[in-house]
Amino acid sequence: MKALHLTTPPSPPSLIEGTAPVPRPGTGELLIRVCAAGVISTELSWYPTTHGKDGESRIGAIPAHEFSGTIEDVGEDIGRLEIGREVYGMNDWYSDGDLAEYCLAPFFAVYQKPSRLTHYEAASVPISALTAWQGLFDRARLRSGERVLVHGAAGGVGVFAVQLARLHGARVIATASARNRDFVLSLGAEQVIDYAASRFEDCVNGLDVVFDTVGADTLERSWGVLGPGGRLVTVVSTVEDSADARVKNAFFIVEPNQKQFAEVAALLDDGRLRTVVDTVVPLSQAPEIYTGKLHRKSRGKLVVAIENQNLPEGKI
Ligand SMILES: NC(=O)c1ccc[n+]([C@@H]2O[C@H](COP(=O)([O-])OP(=O)(O)OC[C@H]3O[C@@H](n4cnc5c(N)ncnc54)[C@H](OP(=O)(O)O)[C@@H]3O)[C@@H](O)[C@H]2O)c1
């Protein structure tokens, strides 16, 4: 099968097109024929991209770990009735990912694709939506009526964090660039702070929750805007090795969760939640996303079309 692999060190991390054997599903696994993959451009520098679970170095990893596609084959313990079902989901960070014609995924990490969404749209959802869900509800325990500040509200994760917090009855304040102000208001934020023009700490304080997708100085300055009992969560991987215990505790990595995939799919299908795809590119162009040569045109996720190289006109 066609696949993109991480170059071998000492080259700077980038991707090359090659081939790989179609993997065989083991116990509890599904073989997915990938239609589309969602991309997080920082992934090449993440630990699991270059290391195995045992700490050994990993060579030639296939990146991208969220997909939409069709079940092609199943492990022995899974009913063959599943074959042909359209699904969306995630695969293990330490396993080969979805910039390939096929990938493996654990059964518990996929769910039926939201029926109203195209494969391109569905591939933009799994990691971003579950990161927002787990950050707001599992980690920060956001309650209805509370005030939450979402940093990076026009980004892949932020788009879901704003909408899910609002649907939960929270009051949402967001940071974004001026060009994304109206867009973020349309997602349900009641106030949008232009991060280039103002310091958010001059505009808000006494917050119940801060959801950070930006890190660095933005994260540092966020502690001061929390009120008594306030909680902060961050998803930015550069803080993972922080010496500050407070920062370490605030960080988490999203995990697949079938029940949450089901709840997100229901919200997408009944129109209460929406996903935003910026651009769909063919597999041959995917390396440019990771090197920074290909940028978002406006907002939302960059998605790679795997199966159908004839990209659709208009609707994605
Ligand atoms: N831990 C996990 O499990 C996990 C899961 C998913 C993602 N992540 C990480 O989360 C981060 C965000 O991911 P993403 O996919 O949402 O990224 P993204 O789609 O690239 O969005 C980043 C957003 O940040 C905004 N931004 C940039 N500088 C800002 C600032 N100073 N203040 C406020 N907003 C700012 C940009 O806004 P404008 O476009 O308006 O300029 C952009 O919309 C990445 O570091 C990613 O690696 C972690």
Q: Where in the chain is the domain with CATH 3.40.50.720?
A: 129-250
The most confident of 201-205, 287-291, 305-309, by mean pLDDT: 201-205
Determine which helix (DSSP H) or strand (DSSP E) holds 289, and give its type and residue range. Answer: helix 286-291
Do the Cβ atoms of 165 and 184 come closer than 8 Å? Answer: no
Tell me: pLDDT of 315 over 50: no
Q: Where in the chain do CATH 3.90.180.10 domains reside?
A: 2-125+275-305
pLDDT at 249 over 60: yes
The predicted pLDDT at position 311 comes to 55
Ligand 1 contact via 242 beta carbon (within 6 Å): no
Instruction: Please state the rounded mean pLDDT for residues 129-150.
Output: 98
Distance 68 CA to ligand 1 centre (A): 22
CA–centroid distance, residue 149 to ligand 1 (Å) = 14
pLDDT(310) > 70: no
Ligand 1 close to Cβ of residue 195 (< 6 A): yes
Q: Round to the nearest angstrom and report the end-to-end CA distance of the chain.
A: 25
pLDDT of residue 16 exceeding 50, the answer is yes
Contact residues for 267 (Cβ-Cβ < 8 A; gap 6+):
167, 273
User: What distance in angstroms lies between residue 151's CA and the mean position of ligand 1's atoms?
Assistant: 8
Q: Scanning the structure block, which residue is given the tokens 């709840």?
A: 263
Distance CA 242, CA 253 (A): 15
Provide CATH code, domain 129-250: 3.40.50.720
Torsion-angle region of residue 32: left (phi > 0), alpha (psi -120 to 50) or beta? beta
Q: Closest Cα to residue 35, out of 128, 121, 120?
A: 120
Q: Looking at residues 180-190, what average pLDDT do you find?
A: 98
Query: 310: Cβ–Cβ under 8 A, 6 or more apart, which residues?
Result: none
What does each C-alpha distance from 87 to 91, 177, 233 come to in angstroms?
12, 34, 29
Residue 308: its pLDDT value, please?
A: 62
Give the pLDDT of residue 312: 54
Enter the tokens of residue 151: 């940093």
Question: What's the CATH architecture for 2-125+275-305?
Answer: Alpha-Beta Complex (3.90)
pLDDT reported for residue 309: 45
Q: What is the mean pLDDT of residues 2-20?
A: 89
Instruction: List CB contacts of 159: < 8 A, sequence separation 6 or more.
Output: 128, 153, 187, 275, 276, 299, 300
Residue 295: its pLDDT value, please? 85
pLDDT digits (tens, 9 = 90+) for 38-87: 999 889 988 899 899 999 988 899 999 999 999 999 999 998 878 999 99
Instruction: Specify the pLDDT at position 153.
Output: 97
Nearest atom, ligand 1, residue 42 CA: 47
Instruction: Report DSSP state, residue 311.
Output: P
Q: Residue 33's closest CA among 285, 306, 312?
A: 306
Q: What is the pLDDT of residue 12?
A: 79
- Rounded average pLDDT over 263-271: 98
pLDDT at position 297 is: 83
Among 296, 279, 301, 272, smallest CA distance to 187 is for: 272
Between strands 226-234 and 207-212, the pairing is parallel
